Amino acid sequence: MSPNVTVDGNARVHPAPERPRRTPELVSRSCDDSSLDSASWSSGASSDSSLGLGAARRGAVTPRLGCRRNQSGMKSRRVAPDGVAAAVRGSPRAKSRCGWVTANTDPLYASFHDEEWGVPVHDDKRLFELLSLSGALAELSWPTILSKRETFRDLFASFDPALVSKFSERKITSLKNSNNIMLSELKLRSIVENAKQILKVVDECGSFNNYCWGFVNHKPTINRFRYQRQVPVKSPKAEAFSKDLIRRGFRSVGPTTVYSFMQAAGLVNDHLISCYRFEECSSVTDAVDLGCYESKQKIAEKKVQDVMGLAEQMNGCMLGV
């Protein structure tokens, strides 16, 4: 007897009720419904896409997103949390930077971090500029200073110490009355006075560069800080540097200002080790060290040649006698 029929007590045969067959349309609709349920779940989870990505990396179990394949053989549409699809497609990963550079950081300030901060500087004019800008931090912030950088360069003759040292009282007064500079008269006079003292340092040490880099033994100090809170606002070398500058007559050059100058001019590398600029600035440091070594070698070779030439001249004079 077929399993699809039954017999009652009166020996009457009744066919068994047939179960409704699922048509392809019903199958597709059920898959779509499950996808919608997944989509509603994913929209709640997409409020923090980074959290969702982190959970996926840790191997957390997440609900199935849609149906793989329905009974009709048609692939169903896959539903993913908002923002995840773009990340999976390979959008560029943001570079890791120091803690003081965030997504909301002023673009000029971020460029300063990416292109200048921590790179060794050996040009006297640029060193004078960075010393002056670091001194302005007592009254202005870095983003404000950088936004006025071209104005500073125009008003201070591209920070040429020889030209700034000749600024007259009339020139200083005009700078003080300028609405574009936003610095107090004390800071303006400090920049002019520092230019005069730099010329004296050049006469004594050959260049302002030689003088500044002498405080770090002509080699950048590479710190290896992991956290932003570890980065100091001053150091023993900065205190010694500041003390000597003040002794020479420089103004507005306290230890904190000097350390900011050392960071900006690359005398110290205070990029966090997690920052992509740490290795890049360290590579520049290695190149500078190699250049200094080659320069010293050339100087030594020239001295040997001079001594040998002098000896030959003396021998010639003696033979002539």
Q: Where are the domains of the chain?
A: 24-88, 107-277
Tokens coding 127:
């060193």
What's residue 101's pLDDT?
Answer: 87
Of the CA atoms within 13 Å of residue 89, those in its CB half-sphere come to 7
Claim: this prediction has a pTM higher than 0.75: no
Per-residue pLDDT of the chain (321 residues; tens, 9 = 90+): 545 555 455 545 555 555 555 544 444 444 444 444 443 434 443 444 444 444 444 444 444 444 444 454 544 443 333 333 333 333 334 689 898 888 889 999 999 999 999 999 999 999 999 999 999 999 999 999 999 999 999 999 999 999 999 999 999 999 988 878 889 999 999 999 999 999 999 999 999 999 999 999 999 999 989 999 999 999 999 999 999 999 999 999 999 999 999 999 999 999 998 999 888 888 765 444 444 544 445 545 555 566 666 666 666 665 554
Distance CA(10)–CA(184), nearest Å, equals 114
**Helices 169-176 and 185-205: angle between axes, nearest 10 degrees:** 130
107-277 classified as CATH 1.10.10.10: no
Helices (H), the chain: 24-45, 49-57, 84-88, 107-115, 124-135, 142-147, 149-155, 161-164, 169-176, 185-205, 208-213, 236-248, 255-264, 276-320
Distance CA(78)–CA(71), nearest Å, equals 16
Helix (H, G, I), strand (E, B), or coil: what is residue 233?
Answer: coil
Distance CA(123)–CA(131), nearest Å, equals 12
Spatial CB neighbours of 266, under 8 Å, sequence gap ≥ 6: 118, 119, 120, 121, 220, 281, 284, 285
